A = this chain, B = another copy of it.
């Protein structure tokens, strides 16, 4: 098996290249290197299948692919995102199952920093390569690939109607929604997170290539900068309004909170939802931010809108970002107050947001905003109550608009090299 990376010559210096890449250590085609245990030069963590604990922060290291839960949910948030939703084109259930198996094996390799396929460049010159090649020489970069199933998959095509969980609802229309169907929905989703965007784009593109003729990409989103943290005590990264938001996010190490608010288990995984045990639900919202208007808004009004101090991210009247907010001291329409669990009967979601910019609209405004990803064990007690009052009353609504929406059931993790995405659903 070829580790990704080849010749031992100098690499272009820059961003993530501070520690030596594995190419400097392992020659091309190093046949003796065992899968999942490649010695990554400079990497302090190796892929440990079955181990769910977050790796130490080497931005080039692999994140374990196998485990009870899919990686990419509680995993410490990587810097960059590429997200894609697919429509299934085949109506042949066996073809879809075959694709999910093939995707799983390819993801196993890519998240470990390998190319797709074993004969990528040693294969037949008469055949297209198994791997598209643009991540050759790049490290694993903490790549995670997380797959989900949308409500539309559970129609007559694949005889899955009686396996649709009650929690996989059709999201209600919220006040202010201005949703573009071309930016939402989808039978399948793939969330690729990595510290190197080229690694994330490469991964989704190779899954799309494998799925040619069986699935087609419905929409996709590049996220250039994370706005969420799942690392305890870390400062929350800033969104494009310059604010920290989602401060009381669930940390990847808070097992009890994850079990309570994120991972499906017990009664929620009964009946038609039996296959979701260990999984979760993902809401994806594309939120356009009117940054030009925001940028002309006085600081005091910006701070009142969020209910936070801009510099530190502290809740109104407090000193530090992580100080408990005194909700009654905030304006009734401030974002922190309305989105706080105490205003929503404890409803808590795990956030994994990314800023995006996709060029410029016809009016000379930046087409920019927040691609908001929320994980929860049930959207009816998670995103829906969390979003209901803000959608109606949030002062932030003057500056944002939800333009894309999708919901996916995220099946449990891949236990071993015989397991595959959707095994419990399709078995």
Report which A residues bind B (CB closer than 8 A): 6-7, 9-19, 28, 57-59, 76-80, 82, 84, 87, 121, 123-129, 131-137, 142, 182, 195-198, 201, 205, 208-209, 212, 216-222, 224-226, 229, 231, 233-243, 291-292, 295-300, 302-303, 310-312, 320-321, 355, 357-360, 362, 364-366, 368
Query: Could you tell me if A18 and B18 are in contact, using CB atoms closer than 8 angstroms?
Result: yes
- Whole-angstrom distance from the CB of A400 to the nearest CB of chain B? 15
Q: In the complex this chain forms, how many copies of it are found?
A: 2
Query: Could you tell me if B12 and A357 are in contact, using CB atoms closer than 8 angstroms?
Result: no
Query: Could you tell me if B121 and A15 are in contact, using CB atoms closer than 8 angstroms?
Result: no
CA distance A136 to B243 in the complex (A): 10
A310 to chain B: which residues have CB within 8 Å? 121, 129, 133
Interface majority SS (helix, strand, loop, mixed), chain A: loop
A125 to chain B: which residues have CB within 8 Å? 298-300, 303
Query: Could you tell me if A311 and B11 are in contact, using CB atoms closer than 8 angstroms?
Result: no
Query: Could you tell me if B129 and A302 are in contact, using CB atoms closer than 8 angstroms?
Result: yes
Q: List 5 contacting pairs A-B, 8 Å CB cutoff, sorted by A.
A: A12-B236, A134-B241, A135-B238, A137-B238, A182-B362
- Whole-angstrom distance from the CB of A87 to the nearest CB of chain B? 8
Query: Could you tell me if A201 and B357 are in contact, using CB atoms closer than 8 angstroms?
Result: yes
Query: Could you tell me if B311 and A28 are in contact, using CB atoms closer than 8 angstroms?
Result: yes
**In the complex with contacts A128-B299, A132-B291, A357-B82, A12-B123 CB distance below 8 A:** no
Query: Could you tell me if A222 and B222 are in contact, using CB atoms closer than 8 angstroms?
Result: yes
A291 to chain B: which residues have CB within 8 Å? 132, 205
* Top-4 shortest CB links A-B: A133-B242, A216-B364, A13-B57, A125-B300
CA distance A410 to B364 in the complex (A): 23
Query: Could you tell me if A238 and B134 are in contact, using CB atoms closer than 8 angstroms?
Result: yes
In-complex Cβ contact of A219 among B6, B224, B242, B360 (8 A): B360
- Whole-angstrom distance from the CB of A62 to the nearest CB of chain B? 15
CA distance A133 to B245 in the complex (A): 13
Q: Which of A28, A238, A299, A302 has the most CB of B within 10 A?
A: A299
A358 to chain B: which residues have CB within 8 Å? 222, 358-359
Query: Could you tell me if B14 and A78 are in contact, using CB atoms closer than 8 angstroms?
Result: yes
Q: Which of A133, A233, A365 has the most CB of B within 10 A?
A: A133
CA distance A365 to B84 in the complex (A): 11
Query: Could you tell me if A222 and B224 are in contact, using CB atoms closer than 8 angstroms?
Result: yes
- Whole-angstrom distance from the CB of A199 to the nearest CB of chain B? 9
Residue of B nearest to A365 (CB): B217
A15 to chain B: which residues have CB within 8 Å? 15-16, 59, 78-80, 195-196
CA distance A359 to B219 in the complex (A): 6
Residue of B nearest to A11 (CB): B235
In-complex Cβ contact of A198 among B12, B58, B131, B355 (8 A): B355
A233 to chain B: which residues have CB within 8 Å? 9-10
A201 to chain B: which residues have CB within 8 Å? 224-225, 355, 357, 368
- Whole-angstrom distance from the CB of A175 to the nearest CB of chain B? 26
- Whole-angstrom distance from the CB of A8 to the nearest CB of chain B? 10
Query: Could you tell me if B209 and A128 are in contact, using CB atoms closer than 8 angstroms?
Result: no
A131 to chain B: which residues have CB within 8 Å? 242
Q: Which of A79, A236, A241, A368 has the most CB of B within 10 A?
A: A79
CA distance A21 to B303 in the complex (A): 25
CA distance A362 to B128 in the complex (A): 25
CA distance A251 to B70 in the complex (A): 44
In-complex Cβ contact of A129 among B7, B76, B242 (8 A): B242
Query: Could you tell me if B79 and A128 are in contact, using CB atoms closer than 8 angstroms?
Result: no
Residue of B nearest to A297 (CB): B128
Query: Could you tell me if B357 and A312 are in contact, using CB atoms closer than 8 angstroms?
Result: no
CA distance A233 to B12 in the complex (A): 8
Query: Could you tell me if A136 and B234 are in contact, using CB atoms closer than 8 angstroms?
Result: no
Query: Could you tell me if B136 and A292 are in contact, using CB atoms closer than 8 angstroms?
Result: no
Query: Could you tell me if A366 and B137 are in contact, using CB atoms closer than 8 angstroms?
Result: no
CA distance A243 to B299 in the complex (A): 48
Q: Which of A131, A321, A357 has the most CB of B within 10 A?
A: A357
- Whole-angstrom distance from the CB of A241 to the nearest CB of chain B? 8
Residue of B nearest to A132 (CB): B242
